[in-house]
Structure 1
Amino acid sequence: MKRWKLLTQISVIFTIVTVMISLVFVLIFEFGFQRIYSKEIIYELTIYSQDVVNKFKENQHFRTDDYIGITIHKWKQDPDTGEYKIDVNPYYSTPIVDDFFRNVDLKDYIQELVLEENNETFETQRKIGNKTYNVRGVKHNPETENGFYVLAFTDDRYVKAQNEEFTQTLRFTTLALIVLGNISLLLWSRLVVGRINYLEEEVSLLVKTNYERPIDTSGRDEISSLAKSVEKMRLEILEHEQTKREIMQNISHDFKTPISVIKTYGEAIKDGITDASEIDVIIKQADTLNHKVVQLLQLNKINYLTNDQVPEEIFVKEIIKNIINKNKYKFDKEFVTDLDNSTYLATPDSLEIAIGNIIDNAMRYAKTKIVIVLKNKKLTIYNDGEQINEDFIEKIFKPYEKGHKGEFGLGMSIAQQTLAFFNLSISVKNVRKGVMFVIEPI
């Protein structure tokens, strides 16, 4: 099916379903038709035979039926005994009787009923050969001069005629449904396929790095939902491309200053303008460059985190203790900790970098202390420094967004992206007399 066009697939399925429904309907009709029309035949025989009786006794003409045979027999008086006896030879018969009586067994059976049936009104059924016959008899003033005996009978030709008519109608209806249905599907599919082709063209433009043109997302159906997803992807790609451009601009700016300083001081030392004691300035700028390179490598490393790096259950308090030990001589304020044995599913190095960046940020702003609490997998890192501007909170985790004491604007982005990879969320909020970061499983 995948090798066929969408319109062909839908047309084939529609045709198959239509034909199957028609076949099922025919089967149901075949089983139910016999029972329904058996009652209908008896009803027709009753109505028709009674009409014949009423018309014949009034010497009126009665209609003939294409499916029901009529024979009318009269009583004759025996001149010797004076008794009235039924005449086995019909006084009158409708034209179709000749066709019925080609079956000699049926003719004999009718004559038998004429001679032997005693009831004035009766209905009977007899299978003769491969056909089933329904017979109704009505006697009027039996054994009198004006008496007559009407026999109405028919076989399954009425049923077959009705069945054939129904089958013909069903065939025409099925054919009409298939033709009209496929025409409707053709018109509908042109619209659908046109919209799909439009999306295909738009996606091909995305492949060619053309992200500027918005995608039409009007409508409420599944294709519109797909279009909205593609448009969302386009906006995200556009945002990522903008971020890349900003990062490149910021990297160029951040690298340019220390490189210029290193070059200037190096040339000054070389030309004898200054002495070797100024080498400390070069070392400091080199350390600044190295720190920026390390953070760029960390940011780039996030894009290559894969499932090949198998995460493990890590005791978070051990990670925090390692970070505090590395910074206890650089931080002249107080670390306050309250840590339980909660674990995160992550890799040790990545988790230490992410949490380390949050603590490093807190160290730059804290006035007297940093409070770190870990309870039931919820990690909070509080510092009693000044609160964050509400406008900046919205973009604190965006690359190269720096607070007034920030260094490079990458630490928070690295932390957020790394934690997200391990299904951990991070948020920040201003609290009474400080700022709090919250990390917890998604």
Structure 2
Amino acid sequence: MKINTQFRLLILGIVLIPILTISAQGILWLMQQHTIESISVPSYEEIAPLFDNEIERDEWEEIIRRIPHSQPEMNIMILLKDLTVIYSTAYGLEPGDTLTPNELVTLLDVGNDQYGYFIEAPGWLRDVGAFFLIRIDRSIARPPSPIVIVIKTLFVVLIVLFLFSVAMSFIIARSITKSVMVLENATRRIAAGELDLAVDVKGSNEITSLTTSLNQMRLALKEEETRRARFIMGVTHDLKTPLALIKGYAEAIGDGVADDPASRAHSVEIIATKVDQLEGMIDDLIDFVRVDTGEWRRNLDHVHIAAFLTSYTKRIADDADLLNRRVETAIDIPGNVVIPMDERLALRAIENLVNNAIRYTKPGGLITIKGYLKNNAVVIDVCDDGPGIDAEDISRIFDAFYRGSSSRREQGMGFGLTVVKGVAESHGWEISVESEKGKGSCFRLTLPYEPDPSRRMNPRTSGHDDTRKGAGY
């Protein structure tokens, strides 16, 4: 049972117990009143002859109204001056009976130890020539006074409330303690590294529901541990490849295998190429870690996106020309549009997309870079006319170390597009891809744009000439 439900039951019990107890006491009182023998009150027509028709109807109704309420221990009789009974709740005396003085004395003397008698003659009764004779049976206990009844009822309520509160407090405390012990045990197991054992969830309340979250955290930690192990293995494997080639050619030069100038020059060129490739891999790895840890947020600036893209496309056009690729650009973004970003990581993401397009485009191929506004967002398209991406690869091309069927022989660690996705998601941007086999691919970055000038703080116009290129994608 939920702890919240248990507390609600406790509060409900505290409210209902007094109500139910008082209601029960009232019902018992009503039942007691119902058990009192009904008093048969004679009608005016029956008693009028006893008064020799000298009593009016309204006078008799006033007498009836003023007759004291009968109690179990009390008998009430109304007698005329001639001792004629006109009203009686005593056994053996009926209205119309007439007592002699001796019978009255005998009535008062018999059982004097058991009965007590009172004679009263209020003015309103004396006016019609009658008086009350009240007999009280001492053997019947008188009902308690209303004050005593209230005190007893309150005492019962307090006792019941105390017992109920103790019982509910014990149940709630036991539930909380048991749940906390389960949670503590689960936490200790996870802290000890027992990620393969599922946390046993017992009961169902707000605390044990945390155990379900703890189980999800355990699975996430296990998945993260597996991912890190796979990450380390992938990085180690991909870094060893260029290092092995560098070591091999360096040993060839050192051992004199490459003894002629042409061989040594060729070996040095390959070593330099592999060093550049290794440097690019390390840069990719650093960017990947920065995005993964959120360190990039320390360098968040407001950048004029039009100048940023224009500066980059001018440089990449020259680089593509050296590789016999054609680059067409179309930047249609107002100069006052400012986007908050880590400029270095944003540049890295766009470089990765463009270098990826250059890599998979044949000599003479076309790469198109577009920038424009659409639906309150800056859209950057990087398209190529390369071989395209297989349909089964599109859903996984942003995964670390994954390489599609057309890129298995390419150099690099497979971090390029992973870094692009990480940069996009960490900035709150969107990255998508459309590709048609044999016709090319188009990657799209969507950057939400706030046209409110008050949000454009400390804008920076990009004009750097960073010529670094990503090595592996």
Mark yes or no: TM-score above 0.5: yes
TM-score, scaled relative to structure 2:
0.62
Deviation at 1:362, TM superposition (A): 2.4
d(CA) in 2 for partners of 1:321, 1:313: 16
TM-score (norm: length of structure 1): 0.66
Deviations 1:306-365 (A, max 9, x none): 486163443333332233223112222232324334543322222222232223222323
- The one-letter code sitting in structure 2 at the alignment partner of 1:316 is I
Q: Helix, strand or coil: the match of 1:330?
A: helix
Does structure 2 conserve the Cα–Cα contact (< 8 Å) formed by 1:70 and 1:152? Answer: yes
Tell me, yes or no, if the aligned pair for 1:243 and 1:399 is still in contact at 8 Å: no
Alpha-carbon distance, 1:399 to partner: 1.4
1:337 to 330, 349, 352: 330
| Contact residue 49 and residue 151 of structure 1 kept, 8 A | no
Residue 352 of structure 2: which of 337, 354, 357 is its match? 357
Compute the displacement of 1:266 (Å).
1.9
Runs of at least 5 residues in structure 2 that lack an aligned partner in the other structure: 48-68, 84-100, 137-141, 449-473
Q: Does 1:273 align with 2:260?
A: no
**Equivalent position SS for 1:329:** helix
Bigger relative contact order, structure 1 or 2, given CA contacts below 8 A and separation 6+? 2
Q: Which residue of 1 aligns with 2:379?
A: 379
Whole-angstrom distance in 1 between the partners of 2:296 and 2:367? 38
Shift of the 183–241 alpha-carbon distance from structure 1 to 2, 3 Å rule, reads: closer
Partner of 1:166: 153
- Mapped to 2, the partners of 1:201 and 1:117 lie a distance apart of 86
Instruction: Give distance in 1, aligned partners of 2:233 and 2:299.
Output: 35
Q: What secondary structure is seen at the aligned counterpart in 2 of 1:177?
A: helix
2:366 is matched with which residue?
368
Change in 2 beyond 3 A, CA 1:70/1:219: closer
Any idea what the Cα deviations from partners look like across 1:170-229, whole Å, max 9, x if unmatched?
A: 234323423443454466x1xx65454334333333333342223456987645653343
Match of 1:436 among 439, 442, 450: 442
Aligned equivalents of 1:173, 1:94: Cα separation in 2? 44
Distance 1:51 1:211 in 2: 87
- Distance in 2 (CA, whole Å) between partners of 1:296 and 1:95 is 112
Q: Secondary structure at the match of 1:399?
A: coil
Q: Is the 8 A contact 1:49 1:152 kept in 2?
A: no
Change (3 A) 1:222 1:15: closer
Retained in 2: the 8 A contact 1:49–1:150?
A: no
Count of residues paired in the alignment: 372
Question: Judging changes above 3 Å, is the alpha-carbon distance between structure 1 residues 77 and 243 closer, same or farther for their aligned structure 2 residues?
Answer: closer
The equivalent residue for 1:412 is 417
Q: Which amino acid aligns with 1:233?
A: M
SS at match of 1:272: coil
Deviations 1:371-392 (A, max 9, x none): 4243231524233323322332
CA distance in 2, matches of 1:429, 1:220: 47
Seq. identity, % = 17
Q: Is the 8 A contact 2:10 2:165 kept in 1?
A: no
Distance 1:180 1:15 in 2: 12
Is 2:406 the partner of 1:423? no
The unaligned stretches of length 5 or more in structure 1 are: 1-5, 58-62, 79-86, 102-106, 121-141
Choose which of 12, 21, 24 in structure 1 pairs with 2:15: 21
